[in-house]
A and B are shown apart, each in its own frame.
Chain A
Amino acid sequence: MSSRRSRISEEEINELISKLHSLLPESRRRSGASRASAAKLLKETCSYIKSLNREVNDLSDRLSDLMATMDTNSAQAEIIRELLRS
């Protein structure tokens, strides 16, 4: 990794910002991803990451509860594996 700061063009930054914008779910997007709203995009991105982390927390709890009651064997895992084969 280069330690020297290379000049990143405005265009490259805008491209990356557009990409980030496209990764946000529909409900979190503002119309247009102009440079001026980069700050808002970053804010929304942070908010989105936090909510995804919370979802991982919640789903971990739910999986833990479900596993307590589930018939435990690898056949179950195999079924799930099949379901996820897309």
Chain B
Amino acid sequence: MKGGNPNPNPNSNPKKPLLANHFIQALTRINLAAQTSSTRQRSHCIKRAAYVSMACAAGSRRAWSRAMLQKIRLRSRVLRLPGDRRSIVSVVRREENRADVLRKLLPGGQAMEFSSLLEETASYIQYLSAQVRLMQTIVDSMFG
């Protein structure tokens, strides 16, 4: 990969053009609506586009991407995206099973068998980190 960006997973490169194309098209659309939206609203649209890009790049092969697309398309107005949750202080503290925490973080994770959960998590992490790198690259290029 060009640019000195350390990529521990060379075989994740094939996803990159798909991810990039979808996300940039979305950014262009959001950009055209720039005059009418606030910075905060635009940020929300960008975030939504980030997760949709990931899910589209992964396609219907993955349970997490199917679950994510389903959730986003059903709730197009009031969105609860990953990372929106504020921590809730529960009155009764209890030890949470580690897998349960993971199930909540992974789209569609609640219904999965444990081995699927691990496999889906691996895939989700690959796409999520690729998306972060993509967004960082775009931000960097806009400064340059």
Chain A: interface residue count, which band? 35 or more
Contact A59 B135 (CB under 8 A): yes
Contact yes or no, A80 B141, CB < 8 A: yes
Main secondary structure of the interface of B (DSSP, over half): helix
Do B118 and A72 have beta carbons less than 8 Å apart?
no
Contacts of B39 in A (CB 8 A): 61, 64-65, 68
Interfacial residues, chain B to chain A (CB-CB below 8 A): 1-3, 8-9, 13, 16-17, 20-21, 24-25, 27-28, 30-32, 34, 39-40, 42-44, 46-47, 50-51, 82-83, 98-99, 101-102, 105-106, 113-115, 118-119, 121-122, 124-126, 128-129, 131-132, 134-139, 141-143
A-B contacts, 16 listed (Cβ < 8 Å):
A8-B114, A8-B115, A19-B122, A23-B126, A23-B129, A45-B102, A50-B105, A52-B128, A52-B132, A60-B50, A61-B39, A63-B138, A67-B30, A70-B142, A83-B137, A86-B1
Chain A positions within 8 Å of B, measured between CB atoms, are 5, 8, 12-13, 16-17, 19-20, 22-23, 25, 39, 42-43, 45-46, 48-50, 52-57, 59-68, 70, 72, 74, 77, 79-81, 83-86
